[in-house]
Amino acid sequence: MFQTKLRVDKEWPGGFEAGLEIRIDNQIIDGWEIELRFDQAVLLDVWLGDLRSKTDDRIFVYRNKDWNAQLSAGSVFDFKFVAHNGVAPHNLVCAFFNGKSILTSSSEVANASQTTTSSQSTLASSTSTSLIILNGKYNYGEVLRMSLLFYESQRAGKLPANNRIIWRGDSMLMDKGQNGEDLTGGYFDGGDYVKFGFPMASFTTLLAWGALDYEDAYQHSGQLHHVREAIRWSTDYFIKAHVSEYEFYGQVGDGYDDHASWSRPEDWTKPRPAWKVTRQQPGSDLLAETAAALAAASLVFRSSDPSYASTLLIHARQLYDFANQYRGKYSDSIPNAANFYNSWSGYGDELGWSAAWLLHATGEQGYQTDVEKHYAEFELDRQPQEFSWDDKTAGVQLLMAKITQKLTYRQQVENFCNYIVRQAPKTPKGLVYLDQWGTLRHAANVAFLCLQAADIGINTQEYLTFASQQIGYILGDSGRSYVIGFGHNYPQRPHHRSRQVDSICDWSAFNNPGPNPQLLIGALIGGPDRNDNYEDRRDDYVKNEVATDYNAGFQSAVAGLLHYQLKG
């Protein structure tokens, strides 16, 4: 008989989290099967095995995953699960492992919160990540506050009377379209002053998603008004840029001209070019992403400002139809964008993404039909390797899983997050490493997406653990903070013109080795290399650039962690 202990990590009214610690006497090479029997109907979250059968919601049989089919002799297999639906540990009446009884009502039960008292480090190693989140050392509400200040630092145009960034002023008030249309407002992309519409729309969608699903976190931290204002600063600009049904301005400012200067945006006086997409010069990816942002934002404002929400939805519908009817890559129509934000993945993912958000916002069956068409045409059932401003495939899968609860979408989400959590490259200190550009941005984006998967009961505890670890790395677990102004040893020399320039507005300021004169509070920098190496150097723009899309998934993931902390 296998030696087994039921370890209860956490218990609350109506549910508990536990692990079956099974000592393996002989090596298992051909896989395993475990059966759990309860004396009442329960709901189970299990992430180490695949459900083979279920009887009356009381008897559950799980089979190994491909990656854990082999178990070494002498090892302890920790089969973790979370039980819901008015259940307590005593309702688990027996368990079987490979057909042998391993647990009965008289078996040993260990309660982690009672037996682990010797030290904080011992507690952390034996309890679940949900406890780490609930008793976390990081002030997530303060991180949200700082991140939103970063977005205010990136505003272009006429600043409001309640501007909180004292070193920023009005800028680029000359921004106009080709026929004199008002294109002031919006956000500067990063450490430069170009308004790239594609990543601006992408980060707005992510901010709106987090604000929508984790509103309690923003409410609790006193940041709900500020996150809505951050989203509105984008959406007001998108409405301006949509000058007619089939005309949309996707970029203001020449990236090459901009990068040749090191000065403050307030001091820029030179007229700036503006490029648009039309029926003759299409931009399906740009248009569809903007439609997604507007549809997501309409849900954010639906209760607080229903008239504005309706306006957003009108533009979202029109831009989606424009994108779908007149197809093409925006970076082909706006060549200046190609060396900065080229549409590598094409426009199929954005068409599916925007249709999914319009389905979410309207409930109209026609948009679900469109998602399914885009799935087939652009093979959106594939397993992506990232979730980014360019590739929305994983987001489409997740959003459709949340909306429809269909098993096919849920399986795609699980495949993606399992790859990220279990197989994707990691640094020695545990950061998931997907790309050298915006390393932390990529880690935060997938942390947010896997938090969303946890929300719908997919490997909940495993994905919460992962998200908590990734955000913890960023906030200080790595030995330093990568968020400017927060925590210990944060960066002081980000590659950012407006923050770095003071009285000297030229390249001599860039070459100054000292810290930047203004603090770019809340900005997430690019991050370390694959070996956790990082140097705070302004001239290393790969590691020290900041960008509006860097903060979006990060901020939404932090809101998600605070949401779970509040659920307690």
pLDDT over 90 (residue 105)? no
Could you tell me the strand order of the sheet in which 43-46 lies? Answer: 43-46, 76-84, 15-23, 4-12, 109-111
Q: Is 376 exposed, middle or buried (0-12, 13-18, 19+ CB in 10 A)?
A: exposed
What confidence category does residue 134 fall into, taking pLDDT thresholds of 50, 70 and 90? Answer: very low
Q: Is 55 exposed, middle or buried (0-12, 13-18, 19+ CB in 10 A)?
A: exposed
Tell me the CA distances in angstroms from 278 to 79, 198, 242, 243, 254, one per residue in order. Answer: 56, 15, 11, 11, 19
Return the pLDDT at 325. 98
pLDDT over 60 (residue 349)? yes
Mean pLDDT of 550-565: 96
CATH of domain 140-567: 1.50.10.10
556: nearest Cα among 441, 412, 435, 396: 441
Mean pLDDT of 292-317: 97
Q: Where are the domains of the chain?
A: 4-118, 140-567
Rama region for 498: left / alpha / beta (φ>0; ψ in -120 to 50; rest): alpha
pLDDT over 60 (residue 568)? yes
Other CB atoms within 10 Å distance of the CB of residue 379: 10
Using one digit for the tens of pLDDT, what is the confidence trace for 47-69? 788 999 998 889 999 999 877 88
Radius of gyration of the chain (CA): 25
What confidence category does residue 514 fall into, taking pLDDT thresholds of 50, 70 and 90? Answer: low
Return the pLDDT at 125. 26
Rounded-to-integer distance, Cα 186 and Cα 189, Å? 9
Using one digit for the tens of pLDDT, what is the confidence trace for 146-167? 999 999 999 999 999 999 998 8
Same fold, 4-118 and 140-567: no
Which residues pair with residue 495 across a beta bridge?
545
CB 48 within 8 A of CB 80: yes
499: nearest Cα among 226, 192, 148, 173: 192
Summary mean pLDDT of the chain: 88
The amino acid that residue 239 corresponds to is: I
Return the pLDDT at 112. 42
Return the pLDDT at 121. 25
pLDDT over 50 (residue 249)? yes
What confidence category does residue 45 fall into, taking pLDDT thresholds of 50, 70 and 90? Answer: confident
Return the pLDDT at 262. 64
Domain 4-118 has CATH 2.60.40.290: yes
Mean pLDDT of 542-559: 92
Structure tokens at 523: 């900005």
Using one digit for the tens of pLDDT, what is the confidence trace for 440-479? 999 999 999 999 999 999 999 899 999 999 999 999 999 9
Structure tokens at 262: 């090191």
259: nearest Cα among 333, 336, 330: 336
φ and ψ at residue 493, rounded to 5 degrees: -130, 50
What is the percent of the chain with per-residue pLDDT over 90, rounded to a whole number? Answer: 65
Mean pLDDT of 98-109: 66
Mean pLDDT of 63-87: 84
pLDDT over 60 (residue 252)? yes
The alpha carbon of 226 is separated from its chain's Cα centroid by a whole number of angstroms, namely: 19
User: Pick the residue with more confidence: 309 or 4?
Assistant: 309
Tell me the CA distances in angstroms from 348 to 323, 327, 370, one per residue in order. Answer: 10, 10, 11
Rounded-to-integer distance, Cα 290 and Cα 450, Å? 23
What is the percent of the chain with per-residue pLDDT over 70, rounded to a whole number? Answer: 88
What confidence category does residue 510 fall into, taking pLDDT thresholds of 50, 70 and 90? Answer: low
CB 501 within 8 A of CB 508: no
For strand 4-12 and strand 109-111, is the pairing parallel, antiparallel, or unpaired? Answer: parallel
Rounded-to-integer distance, Cα 61 and Cα 55, Å? 9
What confidence category does residue 187 fall into, taking pLDDT thresholds of 50, 70 and 90? Answer: very high
| pTM for this model (two decimals) | 0.76
Taking every pair of Cα atoms in the chain, the longest distance, rounded to a whole number of angstroms, is 81
Catalytic machinery residues: 192, 495, 536, 545
Structure tokens at 369: 């039909």
Rounded-to-integer distance, Cα 287 and Cα 82, Å? 42
φ and ψ at residue 403, rounded to 5 degrees: -75, -45
CB 197 within 8 A of CB 290: yes
How long is the chain? 568
CB 526 within 8 A of CB 439: yes
Return the pLDDT at 257. 75
Which residues pair with residue 509 across a beta bridge?
none
Mean pLDDT of 423-433: 95
User: Pick the residue with more confidence: 538 or 190?
Assistant: 190
Return the pLDDT at 274. 97
Return the pLDDT at 541. 65
